[in-house]
Amino acid sequence: MTKFEKDKIVTGYVTGIEPYGIFVSLDDYYSGLIHISEISSDFVKNVSDYAAIGEAIKMKVLEVDEKNHHIKLSIKDINYKSEKCGQIKETEKGFGTLKKMVPIWIEDTMEDINNSNKK
C-alpha cells in the first residue's frame, strides 16, 4: 500500500517541464506527471508559466500506478504554490538512490518479462 492515495494533496519537486506537462518527483520511489489538461481550467499556453524546475509544489493525486511507481497528478483548482514549499536542496547522496534502484527495476522488469513468456 502506497502512502499516496487518490484525492490527497501531496508535495513534490518539479524535475522537468515539457510542452505537454510537468514532471515531478514525490520521493525516492515515486514520480509523476501533471498533464497540461490538469494544470488549469483556463487555456495553458506555456507550461513553464506555472512551475520551474527545482520548485516544490503541492498537487492532487488522481491515480497511482503502484507497479511502476508513477502517479497522475493535478494542480487544477488547488493552491499549488505555498510559502512552505521551496527549492530542491542538493544532498550528499546525489544520484545514489537512482544508482541503487536502476538494477532493481531492471531485475523486476526482466522477471515480469520472463513470467509473461512462460504463460
Separation between Cα atoms, residue 17 and residue 54, nearest integer Å: 10
Judge whether 100 lies within some domain: no
- The parent domain of residue 65 ranges over 9-91
Do the domain assignments include residue 119? no
Q: Is 62 exposed, middle or buried (0-12, 13-18, 19+ CB in 10 A)?
A: middle
Name, in order, each residue with C-beta under 8 angstroms of 30's C-beta and a sequence gap of 6 or more: 2, 4, 69, 70, 71
Question: Considering its fold, how many domains does the chain have in total?
Answer: 1
Q: Is residue 27 part of a domain?
A: yes
Q: Is residue 43 in some structural domain?
A: yes
Per-residue pLDDT of the chain (119 residues; tens, 9 = 90+): 568 889 999 999 999 999 999 999 988 888 899 999 999 999 999 999 999 998 899 999 999 988 888 899 999 988 887 655 555 555 566 667 777 778 888 888 888 888 877 76
Residue 84 lies in a domain: yes
Which pLDDT score, from 0 to 100, does residue 88 have? Answer: 55
Instruction: Please tell me the distance from the alpha carbon of residue 9 to that of residue 2, in angstroms, as a whole number.
Output: 14
- What separation in angstroms does the CA of 99 have from each of 13, 48, 62, 82, 93? 19, 29, 29, 32, 10
Tell me, yes or no, whether 60 lies in a domain.
yes
Identify the CATH number of the domain in which residue 29 sits.
2.40.50.140
Indicate whether 35 belongs to any domain: yes
Classify residue 81: in a domain, yes or no.
Answer: yes
- Joined together, the cell numbers standing for residue 93 give 547522496
